[in-house]
């Protein structure tokens, strides 16, 4: 059963899944590869397909090249940290050695689905403050001691294969830097990237995660369970939007050739976005599902700041943190894109009374110009029973 979180508002009680208001677990994947090995190319394709299925708010991936062309310093040490020496290796959430090789996309999806609802005591964000500087923020619900990992990555094409997060520099010790927080405590860690010739800063970001320092594995594999992770290209919640790298990981499926995209409700050159809610009046045990359906019928890529707000009795709460601070998430929608992003998926509880006239609002602004990318959308709903 999913735990429930709530917003208390005079005259009503609005419930949502706790993941919307507390830290949703970001599942961490470490992928080790090299140019010449039996299954490396096949596993790289599986990783790419898997990564494209989810957003950066849901999971994080780092690919380490450990030998051959363009290896990352410390990558081989990190592989040895898990007790492994041969590649390919994919470690899920620091605790599961996914195999046997070769694995396909379905193995990765099954693992993610098994881990995504595991509770986390940590909240993490990574913010890009300049071309080379990143701020890692960690908050603890309860006291813990572990280690912090941070890796700078670049989205690249290497040997004709696409990689979302190709490791460029390990910004901590290869086994992590010690971190300890008391219950309710928080800390900020600044990391600087040493840009090298040939790297494209516009395609770069940082993934950070905290894992246990203890060895929970066996003689063949040493596990270090991840507690939480964050990607700098994921969500942002600054009050004033500023141009920043877009999220190339936003799930998107191009419209097949010969199939016309849905008829636009505005201009053919606009981004088309609709809120799709499973009902307009919810009763106990009803499924509550909210998706953002996006279609890009134009020939250009839309890089946008995507705003979603919940309005109840004149009070506004902004996704993805669902606080009253204005927040948004960056998305990139290529030409021909037709995608759905799930926001909520839970069962409406009983015993919460009745209320109506609640609204979700959605609008996307072009990141570079802060102008409307397309028409905004709204849905009204309520609950009873």
Least confident of 219-228, 241-250, 310-319, 343-352: 241-250
Q: What is the pLDDT of residue 236?
A: 44
**Mean pLDDT of the chain, nearest integer:** 84
With pLDDT > 70 as the criterion, what percentage of the chain qualifies? 83
Q: What is the pLDDT of residue 251?
A: 54
Q: What is the pLDDT of residue 75?
A: 96
String of b and e for 307-318 (b: at least 16 CB within 10 Å)? Answer: bbbbebeeeebb
When computed from its CA atoms, the radius of gyration of the chain, rounded to whole angstroms, is 21
pLDDT (tens digit, 9 = 90+) per residue, 262-298? 443 445 568 999 999 999 999 999 999 999 999 999 9
pLDDT (tens digit, 9 = 90+) per residue, 108-162? 999 999 999 888 999 999 999 998 999 999 999 889 999 999 999 999 988 888 8
Pairing of β 355-366 and β 302-312: antiparallel
Contact call for residues 250 and 331 (beta carbons, < 8 A): yes
State the pLDDT confidence band at 1, using cuts at 50, 70 and 90.
very low
Neighbours of 350 (CB within 10 A): 9
H-type alpha helices, the chain: 40-52, 75-81, 105-115
Q: Which two tokens stand for residue 355?
A: 């209320």
For residue 346, CA distances in Å to 18, 286, 289, 318, 360 come to 10, 9, 7, 19, 17
d(CA 254, CA 348): 33
Contacts of 228 (CB under 8 A, 6+ apart): 23, 25, 26, 120, 121, 122, 123, 124, 138, 209, 210
Q: What is the DSSP string of 229-244?
A: EEETTSEE--SS----
For residue 181, CA distances in Å to 103, 141, 210, 213 come to 37, 9, 12, 14
Q: What is the pLDDT of residue 213?
A: 73
Least confident of 93-107, 136-150, 239-253, 304-318: 239-253
Whose tokens are 């670049």? That residue is: 154
Contact call for residues 210 and 179 (beta carbons, < 8 A): yes
Examine the pLDDT at 19 and tell me if it is beyond 70.
no
Domains and CATH numbers, the chain: 4-22+244-383 (2.60.40.10), 27-233 (no CATH)
Neighbours of 198 (CB within 10 A): 9
Report the number of secondary-structure helices (H) and strands (E) in the chain.
3, 25
* Mean pLDDT value of segment 92-106: 94
State the pLDDT confidence band at 14, using cuts at 50, 70 and 90.
low
pLDDT (tens digit, 9 = 90+) per residue, 56-91? 889 999 999 999 888 999 999 999 999 998 999 999
For residue 52, CA distances in Å to 14, 240, 246 come to 32, 29, 14
State the pLDDT confidence band at 4, using cuts at 50, 70 and 90.
very low
Structure-model confidence comparison of residues 60 and 384, the more confident one: 60
Structure-model confidence comparison of residues 221 and 293, the more confident one: 293
Examine the pLDDT at 304 and tell me if it is beyond 70.
yes
Q: Which two tokens stand for residue 27?
A: 């599942």
Q: What is the pLDDT of residue 315?
A: 86
Structure-model confidence comparison of residues 278 and 16, the more confident one: 278
Helix or strand or coil: residue 202? helix
């Amino acid at each position: 059963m999913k735990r429930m979180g709530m917003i208390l508002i005079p005259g009503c009680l609005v419930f949502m899944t706790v993941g919307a208001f507390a830290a949703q677990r970001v599942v961490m994947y470490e992928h080790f590869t090299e140019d010449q090995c039996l299954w490396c190319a096949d596993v790289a394709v599986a990783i790419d397909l898997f990564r494209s299925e989810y957003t950066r708010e849901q999971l994080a991936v780092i690919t380490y090249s450990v030998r051959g062309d363009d290896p990352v310093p410390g990558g081989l040490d990190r592989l040895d940290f898990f007790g492994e020496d041969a590649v390919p290796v994919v470690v899920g959430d620091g605790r599961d050695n996914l195999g046997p090789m070769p694995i396909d996309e379905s193995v990765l999806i099954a693992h993610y689905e098994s881990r995504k609802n595991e509770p986390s005591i940590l909240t993490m964000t990574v913010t890009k403050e300049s071309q080379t500087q990143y701020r890692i923020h960690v908050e603890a619900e309860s006291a813990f001691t572990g280690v912090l990992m941070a890796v700078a990555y670049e989205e690249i094409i290497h040997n004709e294969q696409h990689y979302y997060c190709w490791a460029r520099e390990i910004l901590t010790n290869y086994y992590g830097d010690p971190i300890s927080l008391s219950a309710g405590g928080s800390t900020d860690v600044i990391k600087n990237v040493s840009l090298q010739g040939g790297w494209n800063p516009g395609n770069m970001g940082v993934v950070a995660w905290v894992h246990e320092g203890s060895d929970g594995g066996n003689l063949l594999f040493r596990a270090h369970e991840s507690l939480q992770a964050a990607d700098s290209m994921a969500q942002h919640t600054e009050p004033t939007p500023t141009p920043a790298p877009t999220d190339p990981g936003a799930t998107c499926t191009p419209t097949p050739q010969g199939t016309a995209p849905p008829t636009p409700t505005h201009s053919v050159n606009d981004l088309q976005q609709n809120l799709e809610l499973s009902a307009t009046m919810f009763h106990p045990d009803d499924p509550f599902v909210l998706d953002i359906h996006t279609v890009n019928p134009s020939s250009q890529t839309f890089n946008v700041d995507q705003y979603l707000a919940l309005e109840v009795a004149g009070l506004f709460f902004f996704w993805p943190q669902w606080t009253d601070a204005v927040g948004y998430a960056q998305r990139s929608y290529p030409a021909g894109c037709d995608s759905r992003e799930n926001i909520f998926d839970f069962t409406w509880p009983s015993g919460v009374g009745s209320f109506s006239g609640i609204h979700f609002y959605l609008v996307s602004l072009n990141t570079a110009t802060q102008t409307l990318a397309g028409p905004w959308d709204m849905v009204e709903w309520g609950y009873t029973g």
